[in-house]
Structures are given as C-alpha cells and as structure tokens.
Amino acid sequence: MSYPVRTALLLVFCLGICATAARVEAAGDPFGNVAAAYLVMIDGREVWARNPSAPLPPGSLTKMMTGLLVLERADPGQLATVSREASRETGTRLGLEEGDRMPVIDLLAAALLGSANDACHALADHVSGSEKKFVVLMNARAREMGLSGTRFANACGHDAPGMRSTARDLARLAETAMGNPVFAKMAGLEDGWISTADAGKKFPLENKNLLIGRYRGAIGVKTGFTGSAGKCLVALAERGRKRVLLVMLDAPDRWWKAEEILDAAFAHGPGASAGPP
C-alpha cells in the first residue's frame, strides 16, 4: 500500500473517531454553553450535564444549606434577634436593624424567597451564635452529605476565597433540602408578607425564582447571583409522576434556557438512555 493511501485511510479513521466522540459528547451535553456548568436529573437519574464536577462560586444557592441547617437545628417558631453584624450585611437585604426580633420562620422565608442577606446572617447567628461558627456547621454537614466539591466561607453566598461548589453537589443538596416539608413548602411560594415580632415593621416578599407560578409544575428551589458566580439557578419541577431537577451555574440567560431545558426533560421518554432531547 502506497504511503499516500495509508495516510488517507489513517486520516479517515481518525476523523471517524473524532466524529464518534463528538456525538457522545453532544449526547451528554446537548445544550452546550448555556452555562459554565449545568446538570439535569430526571427522576433522580443524571441525564445531561456540562462540567458537573467543576468547582465554581455558588452565589446564593448557598442559602439552601443555610435553610436546611436552620430547620434541622432551630424551632421555626422561635424568635431571633438581629445582631449588629447581620444588620450590616450587604447586597440584597430586608433592611433589618440591630435589635429587631423576628420569628425564625419569617427570616427563613426572607432568605429563601427574597435571598435577603441580613435575614440569612441573623439565622446563622441564632443557630450558632455567630456566622463563623455556623459556617463550621455548614462544612461539616456538606462532608456528611458527601459533597466533596463544596466548601462554604459564609452563610449567604458572598464571593470569598475558597467558596465553591459543583452542579452535582448542589443537586444533591437541593434534593436533601426539598425533602424537608417546611423547606419545600417555602421554596414553592410565589410571595408573602413577614413582620417583626411586635409587628412594627412589615416586609413584602416575592420569590426571586421566576419559574414559580409561571412555569407549569415548578416547585422550587433557589436562585443566586454574584459578580464571580454569575446568574445561578436550581430549579425543580414535577408533572404527573415525573420529576426534573436542573442546576445551572453562571448561566447568562438562565430563565429562557431553564424553560427550554425543562421542556426537553419532560419530553424525554421514560426509561430512555441519555441522549439529545
């Protein structure tokens, strides 16, 4: 066989391998660069993913762990007192002042629906005495859950050195948190009102998860955004007996793309192998 012929055959063979690899990659990652990382699970089975183990800033998706720990360690009916540190929180906040007293359940609603950082910090203080001590609990709970790609540096999700999680870890965290009936009910609320214990201050809440009340079957879970994390989302939807969980990290067009991906997941045949939607 002449050299040019061998070269041509080798080239065809290599191109065939590359094409096959591309098809396999496309089957597992049909939505491409909609996010720096994403993960889709249907009825607990991982179907499509992109960089699901990449360590990335989680933003306020962190509050899923905060909410879970609060429900595991505090009475929702207890009153929590806002500390000076909590009142000085930055970013999204209610506008709580030092000394304000609020029921834990109301602060939790503010943290999960409105992503209020002052409410979130107040909850950490209430459970552990300080945010620093609460973060120790967060990381211990993460290890207990097997979230090996996750490390928390604060309770609210602020960008910080070492603060990271993965789409796969956040999916497991979301499923665990949604297993708590109080957390699940709260994550599915569209809006509400909360107030201080003396009713002197009242605050309207609106769920930042725009899928709630708009996308059929949406029941949770949490949004997030920081400069480093970008726009993040954990979405959970149910239709009939089908359950779809979507995690998106650093997704510039998260709302429209989330609906597109969820639609594809619900259209995905039961028992079908992972493949293009």
Question: Do the beta carbons of residue 212 and residue 198 sit within 8 Å?
Answer: no
In terms of C-beta density within 10 A (0-12 exposed, 13-18 middle, 19 or more buried), how is residue 229 classed? Answer: buried
Q: How far apart are CA 65 and CA 245, in angstroms?
A: 17
Per DSSP, 272 falls in state P
d(CA 134, CA 156): 11
pLDDT at 82: 98
What residues contact residue 197 under an 8 Å CB cut-off, 6+ apart? 79, 101, 102, 103
What are the tokens at 112? Answer: 């999960």
Report pLDDT for 11.
36
Euclidean distance between CA atoms 165 and 157, whole angstroms:
11
The torsion angle over the Cα atoms of residues 209, 255, 260 and 170, rounded to 10 degrees, is -60
Indicate the residue type of 57: P
Residue 270 pLDDT:
59
| Tens digit of each residue's pLDDT, the chain (277 residues) | 443 434 333 333 333 333 323 332 334 899 989 999 999 999 999 999 999 999 999 999 999 999 999 999 999 999 999 999 999 999 999 999 999 999 999 999 999 999 999 999 999 999 999 999 999 999 999 999 999 999 999 999 999 999 999 999 999 999 999 999 999 999 999 999 999 999 999 999 999 999 999 999 999 999 999 999 999 999 999 999 999 999 999 999 999 999 999 999 999 865 444 445 5
d(CA 60, CA 229): 9
104 membership: H or E segment, kind and range: helix 104-112
d(CA 202, CA 255): 30
